[in-house]
Structure 1
Amino acid sequence: MSRYSLHFPIRVPDDVLVELGEFTGKFWSDSLGQEPFVIEAIRNYIKPAPPAPQQPVEATEAGYQWKQVFLPEGTRLRASFGRQPYFATVVGAEIKYDGHAVSPSCFANLHGSGNRNAWKAVWLRLPGSNEWLLADVCRSARKAAIARLHGDGAQADSQRSRAPERLPQGLDQPPPAARQFVPRQTEIRSPSVSAAPKGNGAQPKSSSGRSARRRKRRAAKQSPGNP
């Protein structure tokens, strides 16, 4: 509490005083009656109250299936025409605008020439989120997630197909190497050059005939009756 009392007039527009009087029930000319509300408003502006914690959104299976993108119940849709936004909400399994069920394309073309692409014209705010996302961005993210899912599955199948089939326990080791039978190779010798081939009509060597005659002559000379 300040020990000084400062009194400075502050000008407030007439329309604000009238609105404050209607809100508080104090007539605008009753400055003393409106003073506590003015002080409270100033203090709340200087030090605003902390925001209330968001309640967790319960998971629900209800919603609208828009091609690859699923819009859970409670999803807000926003489009605009002439810089004036208009909104729709997913209720159950339908998109409701002004109490009527509409398709995304119908909602995007409620105003204008009717040839707008809903993916490019509609913004989405999912339940529990404060962020608006273009519908086309949500579709691209969903397509990428589906491609990754199918890509991982195909890669796993490819790896399983390349993996060798595992044998039962005890048969997964190859048997010891068996001794290989190597037939003995018989050495084939070429015939000797000095050996004469034997065959029909073979003639005895001439050297053998001369030796026989010499032996006969020596035997005849050594005979006792021969002078």
Structure 2
Amino acid sequence: METQISVPIQTQQFIALTDFLRSNGDSRDPVLVVAEAIDYWMDNASWKSELLGKSVTRGYQWKELFLQDGTEVRMQYKGQYYYAKVEGDQLVYEGTPITPGSLANTIASSSRNAWRDLWIKRPSDPEWRLADDCRSLAVGALFTGGDRA
């Protein structure tokens, strides 16, 4: 038998969730949705230190995307991988600070779109993510009031 505990939330917040589900045609039990939200949070908190209350003070700000200290950046070009890393507040390639755009252009010796050519792996990420996908998550979080990147 599975045991349960009660977790108090504000009544108004629970009613808002119920109204939201109803207005969007979602017939799920709001209690189950709360449990799913907890699972979703735990899945994302492992790679988003700010969700765990940790302060990320060092890192490189690439437009709307923050790359925390220790983040790896790579690009595959002509069958070979090239790597850079965020060290402190700089993106460093071959010992020299560089911008993501310059990194992609330097590797390819031509004009490239860094958002589409660079892949990112934060210290707690289990796998590499395309920079453009990370940017989309970061921009989406700006409009929803959360922080997904």
User: Do these two structures clear the TM 0.5 threshold for a shared fold by scoring above it?
Assistant: yes
CA distance in 2, matches of 1:113, 1:92: 27
Contact 2:82 2:107 in 1 (8 A): no
Q: 1:77 aligns with which of 73, 80, 85?
A: 73
Q: Which residue of 2 aligns with 1:142?
A: 138
Pairwise CA distance, 1:69:
0.4
1:109 aligns to what SS in structure 2?
Answer: helix
Larger proportion of strand: 2
- 1:119 is the counterpart of 2:120: no
Aligned pairs for 1:60-209 (under 5 A) are 60-149=56-145
Larger proportion of helix: 2
Contact 2:73 2:83 in 1 (8 A): yes
2:82 aligns to what SS in structure 1?
Answer: strand
Closer, same or farther in 2 for the Cα pair 1:109/1:130, shift >3 Å? Answer: same
Larger radius of gyration: 1
Q: Which residue of 2 aligns with 1:7?
A: none
Could you list the runs of 5+ residues in structure 2 that have no partner in the other structure? 1-48
Q: Which residue of 2 aligns with 1:34?
A: none
Scaled by the length of structure 2, what TM-score is found? 0.59
Aligned residues: 94
CA distance in 1, matches of 2:70, 2:55: 11
Closer, same or farther in 2 for the Cα pair 1:128/1:140, shift >3 Å? Answer: same
CA distance in 2, matches of 1:74, 1:59: 14
User: What is the identity, as a one-letter code, of the residue corresponding to 2:76?
Assistant: S
Pairwise CA distance, 1:80:
1.6
2:142 aligns to what SS in structure 1?
Answer: helix
User: What is the identity, as a one-letter code, of the residue corresponding to 1:79?
Assistant: M
Query: What do you get for the CA RMSD once the two structures are aligned?
Result: 1.8
User: What is the identity, as a one-letter code, of the residue corresponding to 1:148?
Assistant: T
Highest RCO, 1 vs 2 (Cα 8 Å, sep ≥ 6): 2
What is the CA deviation profile of residues 88-116 of structure 1, one whole-angstrom value per residue up to 9, with x for unaligned ones?
A: 00000001111100100111112324211
